[in-house]
Amino acid sequence: MSALNDSLVPEPLAQLPWRLIVLVLAISGFGLAILYSAAGGQLQPWALNQAIRFLLFFAMAIMLSRFREEHWKFFAFPLYGATLLGLLGVEIMGQVSGGSQRWLDLGFMRIQPSEIMKPVLILALAKFYDTLPSGELRRLVAIWPALLLIVLPAALVVIQPDLGTTVVLVAAGATVMFLAGLPLRLFIGGAVAIAAAVPLAFQFLLQPYQQNRVLTFLNPENDPLGTGYHITQSKIAIGSGGLFGKGYLNGTQSHLAYLPEGHTDFVFATMAEEFGLFGGLLLILGFALLIRWGIRVGQRAESTFSKLTAAGLATTIFFYFAINLMMVMGLAPVVGIPLPLVSYGGSAMLTVLICIGILMSIDRENRMRRR
Amino acid sequence: MKRRRPLLSINDNMRKTMYSRRAMLLGGAQLGVAGLLGARMAWISIAENEQWNLLSESNRVQLSLIPPRRGWIVDRQGQPIAMNRSDFRVDLIPDRLQEPDRIIAALTDLLELTEEDIARIRADLDEAAGYQPVQVADGLEWEQFAAVNVRLPDLPGVAPLQGFSRYYPAGPAVAHLVGYVGAPSREEYEETRDPILMVPGFKIGKDMLEKTMEEHLRGEPGARRAEVTARGELVRELETRPDVSGDVLRLTIDAGLQAYAARRLGPESGSVVVMDTQTGAILAMVSMPAYDPNSFSDGISHLEWNMLSEDDHVPLRNKTLQGLYPPGSTVKPMNALALLGENIDPEETITCSGRTRIAGGNFHCWRRGGHGAVNMNRAIAESCDIYFYQMGVRIGMQPFADTARNLGLGERFDGLPVPYQYFGTVPDPAWKLGRFGEEWQTYDTVNATIGQGYMLTNPLQLAVMSARLASGRNVQPHLIEGQTIPGAAGLNYSAEHLAIVRQGMSDVVNGRGTAGRARLPVEGVELAGKTGTAQVRRITMAERRSGVRSNASLPWELRDHGLFVCYAPTDNPRFAAAVVIEHGGGSGSAYPVARDVLTFLYDQDRAMEALERYEAGWGGDIATRMARQEAEYRARQRAAEAGTLTDPLELRESRDPETGE
């Protein structure tokens, strides 16, 4: 990976995974350009904030990359416990104050425990399977503790209610269980069970506004000015972009405010209107490279913990990306998942850069071992 | 999960292999999803591009129509009868209205709306479809208009507009001639689906010429393409196509004469039609009292509507076309023509003793003492009933009916651009058999010879009859200047016969006839005419014995209608007219009106002088009297609501002189 082992460059700098850093900077830079356009060709109110936030969080990610595998292993369960408490705290505060909220105010910053839980859950699951001897993999003891680890935070998040995050948590958790080597038929059976449970869950678990979103997704033309408005306007933005788009700063859907949330959840549509299919494919390629890097970090890792952590974190980023794009293209209901590194907002960026930071630390471990 | 079969034990190596395989599978699946997303995007942006482009454009670009200015209606000299005035107005768009109560309250403060206005707005809102604008107020002061504009962000659904409103300078005088305009109804929109009908403030013709000549007057709407945001804010204008004004509609009407006739009718319920005897051009067509088309065009309040529809002088009915009256003795010149056609000698006399017995029934002349020996000329001039009874019985009904139809009675004039004509009845044996299944009786003929019984005509037909007698030609009435209607060929009556009839009509006024006071105060111009009195009640034998009650002693609605048909000058007829005064008490109420109206054509000053004298007695001109009537109605309504007495007289008397309550 590191081609820059020139003596002119200091050792710690040369050790950084520069190709990945360039990739992340490229995706985020593209994102900033889109936010600049979404604000009507201005740095305020989004692009500048987002740039500062990115630099801050990216520096943090570089710092995280200096941690060693044993640190992550050691902190996995305590972090999990703390974040779970945070989720509980949010829920209790919500009950007390009478209004639902998703964040905790730490004074200097607000934290969404549900976002932090995404990488932390992966660490906890990896730690659990790392501790589990290979011989136990086909026993019940390989299943229920992992399920418990997933279900506890998922249950707390779904009552917030935050359907998007719940889906990401459960899907990423299940992926780690799959990679850990649990029998395949469990997953096939699980998929069948979920398929059967979906109508029931729809009926009894979802809030009316969530049910509406799902129904609208299935039939957006039924309600073009109500909840179907988002999906329709997003498809108009993407579809009218054509091959090369209407040109930078020339999007009408976003600039004339027809596209709702054009700087957050639907930022991809804002981009596609101005850069067309070409820009879209470029962004998809960027994310594909990022995720493939994460999976390969896992494949090159030595310990079960690192393997599962790397693949799990890569998958978390994948789910963000895939669900968001499916949503803006009308393939999934509007669940409120941002496009990582591109959408305006701090929480998702923090989560994804934590994931990337941990991935970089595992990558560093791999390379140090090889040397 | 209890298992009977031995478990496959997994070692660390197997675990690593399994991870590699599964991670590859996972990576492959993720790549597949990414590929699918790319394909989906390509599908939307390439295959469906056209469709989404179209939607994007229709989002971005808002097409708004510019209502065309309506064509003016002018009289034969180019005087405006209906014109457009620049106007500030405020409308409500029901579709965008969110809290009607709050908004109406806010507008009430800003625009000083009255309770009636509010009631009307609410009623209109209930009826309006989402797209149809409801007028709040128009003719606003600039300050009020600006006050609404400033508060617009807090008033969703309120649409202030600077536009044009229709203005009729003569007001009620032309109401039943040109009609009025109003916002299109839901039905009218659904008929054509023309988007211009949805534009706030746009009005279409609702009655008479405004309605029938709509296409001529409307013009072509302009269009403005503008880029707008989702919140409806204008970004920039793209292009504008100007509107094309509607065409001017030039009428045969003489606006001055029309207004004069309307004023001259005074407080009576009546109508005046004046025609050109040679061309059939209508110079005046007046039905009074009438509504004010200016306030009708703005949308009127319930109170105004109730007042108009409760009025026994029926201001909402166009009496020139919708009023049907027994023509009475005005048919006598026409009937004389029929007699001449059946070879009756005009010098043959009939002795009138005031009454006669025909087919077992008693028939009376209007003059109790009788006329003595009457020939045709005297029978017309002095309107002897007995002469026509006896002659009528001699020749039978059919010649009368044929002559009546030839002269325009019972005729529907297809050349007139009017939305309705009640064309009445010219009875004959075939008609009676078809209508009632009964045989024609001798007394039916007797009634018809003096224009009573089944015979019904409208005032326009009477004017046409007069014009055709005066010119001897089959003139067709028309209202649009330059419109030529075929059929003004000569009628099939000999000049000799027509001269006899015309002399009789001249003697009505200038001889010793029934309307000596109708003589024109104009040097060298003589008027010829015929009076008519149409009974609206049956006179019983008992009453006849004790003396027929005078009209003045009867309640208004039982008094006789007064009619007068005429033409002038006698030597070379140019103008023909018909005047009908409902319940005027006899022809004496009608011919002074005709005299003054025709005087106006020759000597306006003299005519105005006479009018001003009358108006002083009536309590002011039309506008003054209408305003007073409305104020009285309002007071009565308020008193009725308060539970007190409704009669204005009693209302006055019940007031305490000290407190005024």
Residue B47 near chain A (CB below 8 Å): no
What's residue B92's pLDDT?
84
Whole-angstrom distance, CA of residue A151 vs CA of residue A157: 10
Helices (H) and strands (E) in chain A, counts: 14, 2
Residue A137 near chain B (CB below 8 Å): yes
Residue B17 near chain A (CB below 8 Å): no
pLDDT range class, residue B532, cuts 50, 70, 90: very high
Whether residue B26 and residue A252 make contact (CB cut-off 8 A), yes or no, is: no
Asked if the model's pLDDT at residue A371 lies above 90, the reply is: no
Whole-angstrom distance, CA of residue B292 vs CA of residue A3: 94
Residue A240 near chain B (CB below 8 Å): yes
Q: What are the DSSP E strand ranges found in B306-412?
A: 350-352, 355-358, 361-364, 372-374
Residue A191 near chain B (CB below 8 Å): no
Query: B221: cis peptide before it, omega within 30°?
Result: no
Are A320 and A340 contacting, i.e. CB atoms less than 8 angstroms apart? yes
Asked if the model's pLDDT at residue B289 lies above 50, the reply is: yes
Closest partner CB to A277 (pick from B15, B46, B228): B46
**Minimal Cα–Cα distance from B48 to chain A, Å?**
6
CB atoms within 10 A of CB B218: 23
Q: What are the DSSP E strand ranges found in B368-434?
A: 372-374
Tell me how many degrees the CA angle A265-A270-A272 measures, rounded to the nearest 5: 115
Both tokens assigned to B606:
């003299």
**Nearest CA among B166, B169, B86, B97 for reference residue B130:** B97
Closest partner CB to B37 (pick from A138, A243, A325): A325
**Which distant-in-sequence residues (6+ apart) come within 8 Å of B551 by Cβ?**
B559, B560, B585, B586
Are B237 and B77 contacting, i.e. CB atoms less than 8 angstroms apart? no
CA distances from B358 to B315, B339, B363, B365, B553 (A): 41, 18, 7, 13, 31
Q: Which among B52, B60, B61, B225 is the top mutation candidate for probing chain A, defined by the most A β-carbons within 10 Å of its own β-carbon? A: B52
Whether residue B56 and residue A288 make contact (CB cut-off 8 A), yes or no, is: no
Q: What are the DSSP E strand ranges found in B80-189?
A: 80-92, 134-138, 158-167, 181-182
Tell me how many degrees the CA angle A295-A298-A303 measures, rounded to the nearest 5: 165
Whole-angstrom distance, CA of residue B582 vs CA of residue B576: 20
Tens of pLDDT, residue by residue over B546-562, are 877 888 888 888 999 99
Residue of chain B nearest A325, judged by CA positions: B37
Residue B227 near chain A (CB below 8 Å): yes
Closest partner CB to B22 (pick from A135, A178, A284): A178
Whole-angstrom distance, CA of residue B466 vs CA of residue B469: 5
Asked if the model's pLDDT at residue A196 lies above 90, the reply is: no
Asked if the model's pLDDT at residue B304 lies above 90, the reply is: no
Both tokens assigned to B92:
């409500």
Whether residue A179 and residue B19 make contact (CB cut-off 8 A), yes or no, is: yes
Using an 8 Å CB-CB cutoff, list chain B residues near A276. Answer: 45
Identity of residue B301: S
Asked if the model's pLDDT at residue B452 lies above 60, the reply is: yes
Q: Which among B15, B22, B41, B227 is the top mutation candidate for probing chain A, defined by the most A β-carbons within 10 Å of its own β-carbon? A: B41
DSSP state at residue B98: S
Whether residue B37 and residue A181 make contact (CB cut-off 8 A), yes or no, is: no
The separation between CA A314 and the C-alpha centre of its own chain, rounded to angstroms, equals: 9
Count of alpha carbons within 13 angstroms of residue A166, beta-carbon side: 16
Whole-angstrom distance, CA of residue B419 vs CA of residue B213: 10
> If you compute the radius of gyration of chain B from its CA atoms, what whole number of angstroms results?
36
Asked if the model's pLDDT at residue B650 lies above 50, the reply is: no
Whole-angstrom distance, CA of residue B325 vs CA of residue B322: 10
Residue B34 near chain A (CB below 8 Å): yes
Are A2 and A15 contacting, i.e. CB atoms less than 8 angstroms apart? yes
Roughly what angle, to the nearest 10 degrees, separates helices A346-370 and A18-38? Answer: 170
Dihedral sign of CA atoms B408, B413, B418, B419 in order:
positive
Whether residue B53 and residue A307 make contact (CB cut-off 8 A), yes or no, is: no
Whether residue A135 and residue B48 make contact (CB cut-off 8 A), yes or no, is: no
pLDDT range class, residue B472, cuts 50, 70, 90: very high
Closest partner CB to A288 (pick from B24, B31, B48): B31
pLDDT range class, residue B356, cuts 50, 70, 90: very high
Residue B18 near chain A (CB below 8 Å): yes
**Minimal Cα–Cα distance from B32 to chain A, Å?**
10
Output phi, psi for B271, to 5 deg: -145, 155
Residue B1 near chain A (CB below 8 Å): yes
Which carries the bigger pLDDT value, residue B114 or residue B218?
B218
Question: What is the rounded (10 degree) CA torsion for B505, B506, B511, B512?
Answer: 20
pLDDT range class, residue B135, cuts 50, 70, 90: confident
CB atoms within 10 A of CB A152: 16
Both tokens assigned to A331:
């393939």
Identity of residue A69: E
Dihedral sign of CA atoms B233, B236, B239, B244 in order:
positive
pLDDT, averaged across chain B? 88
Residue A239 near chain B (CB below 8 Å): yes
Residue B41 near chain A (CB below 8 Å): yes
Token match 């000549």: residue? B213
DSSP state at residue A242: T
Q: Which of A175-184, B9-18, B451-460 has the lowest mean pLDDT?
A: B9-18
Using an 8 Å CB-CB cutoff, list chain A residues near B23. Answer: 179, 295, 298-299, 307, 311
Tens of pLDDT, residue by residue over B248-286, are 999 999 999 999 999 999 999 999 999 999 999 999 999
Using an 8 Å CB-CB cutoff, list chain A residues near B10. Answer: 134-135, 137-138, 181
Which carries the bigger pLDDT value, residue B493 or residue A11?
B493
Residue of chain A nearest B25, judged by CA positions: A179
Average pLDDT over residues B586-597: 94
Tell me the three state secondary structure of residue B65: strand
Closest partner CB to B10 (pick from A137, A235, A298): A137
Query: A133: cis peptide before it, omega within 30°?
Result: no
Output phi, psi for B449, to 5 deg: -65, -20
CB atoms within 10 A of CB B180: 25
Closest partner CB to B235 (pick from A256, A276, A315): A256
**Minimal Cα–Cα distance from A104 to chain B, Å?**
33
Residue of chain A nearest B31, judged by CA positions: A288
Residue % of chain A over a pLDDT of 90: 58
Output phi, psi for B358, to 5 deg: -130, 130
Predicted ipTM of the assembly: 0.91
Residue of chain B nearest A260, judged by CA positions: B230
Q: Which among B14, B17, B43, B56 is the top mutation candidate for probing chain A, defined by the most A β-carbons within 10 Å of its own β-carbon? A: B56
Whether residue B45 and residue A243 make contact (CB cut-off 8 A), yes or no, is: yes
**Minimal Cα–Cα distance from A183 to chain B, Å?**
11
Residue A206 near chain B (CB below 8 Å): no
Whether residue A272 and residue B41 make contact (CB cut-off 8 A), yes or no, is: yes
Whether residue B45 and residue A292 make contact (CB cut-off 8 A), yes or no, is: no
Query: B477: cis peptide before it, omega within 30°?
Result: no
Whole-angstrom distance, CA of residue A30 vs CA of residue A48: 13
Whether residue A239 and residue B14 make contact (CB cut-off 8 A), yes or no, is: no
Tens of pLDDT, residue by residue over B373-426, are 999 999 999 999 999 999 999 999 999 999 999 999 999 998 899 999 999 999
CB atoms within 10 A of CB A2: 15
CB atoms within 10 A of CB B551: 18
Asked if the model's pLDDT at residue A107 lies above 70, the reply is: no
Both tokens assigned to A365:
């471990």
Whole-angstrom distance, CA of residue A215 vs CA of residue A224: 12
Average pLDDT over residues B621-650: 77
Whether residue A256 and residue B230 make contact (CB cut-off 8 A), yes or no, is: yes
| pTM of the shown model | 0.69
Tell me the three state secondary structure of residue B603: coil
Q: Which among A175, A244, A256 is the top mutation candidate for probing chain B, defined by the most B β-carbons within 10 Å of its own β-carbon? A: A256
Count of alpha carbons within 13 angstroms of residue A100, beta-carbon side: 8
Closest partner CB to B45 (pick from A175, A181, A239): A239
Which carries the bigger pLDDT value, residue A316 or residue B66?
A316
Residue A181 near chain B (CB below 8 Å): yes
Whether residue A239 and residue B53 make contact (CB cut-off 8 A), yes or no, is: yes
Both tokens assigned to B520:
């024109």
Whether residue A178 and residue B40 make contact (CB cut-off 8 A), yes or no, is: no
Q: Which of A207-216, A236-245, B463-472, B477-486 has the lowest mean pLDDT?
A: A207-216
**Minimal Cα–Cα distance from B54 to chain A, Å?**
8
Closest partner CB to A295 (pick from B27, B60, B235): B27
Q: Which among A231, A236, A339 is the top mutation candidate for probing chain B, defined by the most B β-carbons within 10 Å of its own β-carbon? A: A236
Whole-angstrom distance, CA of residue B70 vs CA of residue B142: 23
CA distances from B577 to A7, B178, B587 (A): 119, 20, 14
What's residue B646's pLDDT?
46
What's residue B7's pLDDT?
52
Residue A282 near chain B (CB below 8 Å): no
Whole-angstrom distance, CA of residue A333 vs CA of residue A209: 12
**Which distant-in-sequence residues (6+ apart) come within 8 Å of B520 by Cβ?**
B526, B527, B568, B595, B598, B599, B602
**Minimal Cα–Cα distance from B228 to chain A, Å?**
7
3-state secondary structure B197-263: HHCCCCCEECCHHHHHCHHHHHCECEEEEEEECCCCCEEEEEEEECCECCCCEEECCCHHHHHHHHH
DSSP output for B262-293: HHHTTTS-EEEEEEETTT-BEEEEEEES---H
Identity of residue B572: N
- Burial (CB < 10 A; 0-12, 13-18, 19+), residue A279, is buried
